[in-house]
Structure 1
Amino acid sequence: MNTDESQAGWDYRLVEVYSGRGDGVTVTIICNGKRIIVDFLPTESLDGTIEGPLIARYGAAILDEDVDEIDAAQQEIDDLIYTAGKRIFARLAPPLATGSQLGNLHSLLYPETISFRFATIDGKAELLKQDCDSYLEHTHPPLFQINNDLGLPKFSSDSIHVLEEIQGEGAITRVLVDGLERCCKSGEPFYWEAVAREADCLWKIARSKHALSIRVPKLTGLVTSADNGQTIGILEEYIPTDLKDLCTLRDVDTATINISRKKWASQIREMVHLMHEIGVVWGGGKPRNVLIHKDTDDAWLIDFGGSWTDGWVDEDLRETREGDEQAVGRIFDFLGV
């Protein structure tokens, strides 16, 4: 979206479009550090409204799994919201001072939230402010249990400084904790189960006889909510790398790294084998989840949140040893070894 405000330093991003069956469409936007929720609610008649046909169009695209139509509808939704709300957003969520976009983790995970309902009034698109308590009830996690036999220190979310957003709205971040760079995993409700699985896998590896042979990030701490002290995430060792991950090999002069490909492939296969010996399934096998340490040129495995990725693990093999083995084989093919 090309806007005057974006050129003036605005941070305006559509981050989620959700549609339930017959429930309309709910859009989440981040605007200058604040979360804006816009509901497109179904109407009794599609006639004479802007939102009615758009809700129907988006719902049909979702049912048909028409990616191009979904993208087009989302773009139209985004444009409508911005056009109707730009003056409101300028007042309620003004641009932040230069360099202040990233603050502490708590403000990133739980930004001030403003909710609107999109409505057609006298043929014009309007955003009507509404109560957002029902939304906020679902933004904090259920009881989140992490095995802390390792005696990990706990850090409040408002004491953790965010250096970089790696994924999602705080799902994965590079942070500074007590002067040390760490990787933090926390975030929105859909991600909490994955965080718990990752913590469990890393804990099992750390307590195993193969702890020194399986190169995975070490757990270094737990993140607690500044609101209630509840555990909401984990801190891990941050792995320094010149290559972001194996996928970025295509952007590197292959002549300089071809000699390492066989070593990396062998290391990945051996580490997955050792993990299976101690009952740990990677569940995230793909090149993007392999980092190459910039100091040692060794492969490290990351992302133990589970699930599967099309093209690397078949869905019916998700979170199984067979799925890991399939992923390793395909990584070998990717590396050309």
Structure 2
Amino acid sequence: MISGAMRRFNHAWFDQYKNWLEYSIKKDAAYCLCCYLFRDSNGKGGKTDALSNKGFSSWNKFSRLAEHVGQANSFHNNAVMKCENLMRQGQSIKHALHKQDDITKNECRIRLNASIDVSRYLLRQGLPFRGHDESETSANKRNFMELRKYTAEQNEAVSKVVLQNAPGNNQMVSSKIQKYIVHCFAEEVIKSIFEEIDHDVFCLLVDESADVSDKEQMAVVFWFVDKSGNVKERFISIIHVAETSSAYLKSAIDSLFAKLGLSIKMLRGQGYDSASNMKCEYKGLRSPILRENTSAYCVHCFAHQLQLVVVAVAKKHFEVGGFFDMISLLLNVVGASCKRKYKIKEDHRKMIEEDILDGKINT
């Protein structure tokens, strides 16, 4: 705002400096806007600090304004240039990048969607993603890369922005990207399971066993009744555990519940096998959970109960034990030879044909 003593300026002077000159009514002083904005950390800039720091109020000494402007490479002229560049938003790097961003974002979205579609198919079929050799010279880059290549060949829009047409640092095919997409799918599945539970009570099923790499793992399953009254059993997570003591397993479950935002108080049942670290009344996993929630009744795994029944019966009845021994021997003998398996299949086929001809089997 320009008023007061500034009106005493000669109009010619004012027209010359009005683009960068600002007036303070309170201090009755003029300031150089450009030098004020781009002065250094000490508040200094140019030959005259008054216009960029204290303010100019020597109204009878207009020549100092010209001294402040200085030569072509003066601090004031550099500050004016910086200010003009700042005001030209349409020519700024940010504006140019914004135009580029729309195209780049669209291409990136197509590449990401292609990777997501491939991941969805592989996850649905339970197929492995990666192979030992995914280099450019590899004849078979395994499922993920080969299926993505096939997808690009069938879709021209995808083909234009993937593989060799994509930037080297934005391929959307790295192992980290694949793992991140799989993790996102897992999060969506967990989210849908929680929608089925609908903040209601549920049961906890836990079992632990080693995988093919001899790592001890704990599988966690939820058992609940959905909104429609149907009993559902849903796999939630598989957790690597360094040891299988009840205290360590309880700590792993607490961490999982904290991550999922669940509470032990919502449990209405827990099911394990008969292992001492799981079902033991005093030292098993059931004990610390029951101490936190007395409503989490422990139920022995039905499948494991059936297995124990079969074992007990086989031990007490020699005929049953002999039957299972014969089955085991037969599987070992036949399974070790392709000729024997083929012979059994042929005998079985002939038996079926005879029964059909005799009318014993209807087709």
Per the TM superposition, whether the score is higher than 0.5 is no
Which structure's CA Rg is the greater one? 2
TM-score (norm 1): 0.25
Highest RCO, 1 vs 2 (Cα 8 Å, sep ≥ 6) = 1
TM-score (norm 2): 0.24
In terms of fraction of residues, the more helix-rich structure is 2
In terms of fraction of residues, the more strand-rich structure is 1
